Amino acid sequence: MISPEMAKSLNKQLNAELYSSYLYLSMSAYASFKGLKGAASWFYVQVREELFHVQKMYDYIDSQGEQVILEEVAKPPSDFGTVSDLFKAVLAHEQKVTGLINTLMSQAVKENDHATQTYLQWFVTEQTEEEKSCQEIVDRLKLAGDTGPGIFMIDTELGARVFTPPAL
């Protein structure tokens, strides 16, 4: 079983993951409105990934005999500027989430909670992949600029992404 403090921290993270899904849904709507259908699709896949993270957190908290506590989800922004600005915001958000996961891992280490450390390792690996993927998109957009055929090509590639749910 996990400590009450760990349960509280995991619930806080579950709610942060809910916000992430809401943020990416807003980004998807913005991209679609701006005519970036590929980016809109990419963000919608991101929404589904974040909801998978929520489910994974929910299941772990519940399996540890603790109650899942849902909080109010803050309203995300609705205007993100250029496509480069949009993906820079994604990268910054993923870096913030990485910090939250690292804080959780540090708490699990401090509490000598090996089960939660093992559980959280999946999220540590996931965040490494998320940051790398976002950084690559930001770098490509920097090369392409914010208008022209480069954006069209990148948008088309972003639209090819599909959601493949990982095993729980």
In a domain, 168, yes or no: no
pLDDT in tens, 143-163: 888 777 888 889 888 988 887
In a domain, 30, yes or no: yes
**Total of domains in the chain:** 1
Conformation bin of residue 127: beta by default, left when phi > 0, alpha when psi is -120 to 50:
alpha
State percent of the chain over pLDDT 90: 84
CA dist 54 and 167 (Å) reads 14
In a domain, 85, yes or no: yes
- The pair of three-digit structure tokens given for residue 155, joined into one six-digit string: 């948008």
List the beta strands (DSSP E) in the chain: none
Report yes or no: 42 and 99 within 8 Å, Cβ to Cβ.
Answer: no
Report the first-to-last Cα separation within the chain, whole angstroms. Answer: 19
Average pLDDT estimate for 45-62: 97
**Residue 168, pLDDT score:** 59
In a domain, 166, yes or no: no
Give which of 19, 22, 119 is closest to 61, Cα–Cα.
119
pLDDT in tens, 67-98: 999 999 999 999 999 999 999 999 999 999 99
Domain of residue 36, CATH code: 1.20.1260.10
Report yes or no: 78 and 22 within 8 Å, Cβ to Cβ.
Answer: no
- The pair of three-digit structure tokens given for residue 104, joined into one six-digit string: 């959780």
| Spacing of C-alpha 91 from chain mean position | 10
In a domain, 165, yes or no: no
In a domain, 58, yes or no: yes
pLDDT in tens, 111-135: 999 999 999 999 999 999 999 999 9
- Amino acid letter, residue 136: E
- Amino acid letter, residue 2: I
Q: Which residue has the higher pLDDT, 166 or 88?
A: 88
In a domain, 164, yes or no: no
pLDDT at 28 over 80: yes
User: What pTM, to 2 d.p., does this model score?
Assistant: 0.92
Query: Domain span at residue 51?
Result: 4-158
In a domain, 163, yes or no: no
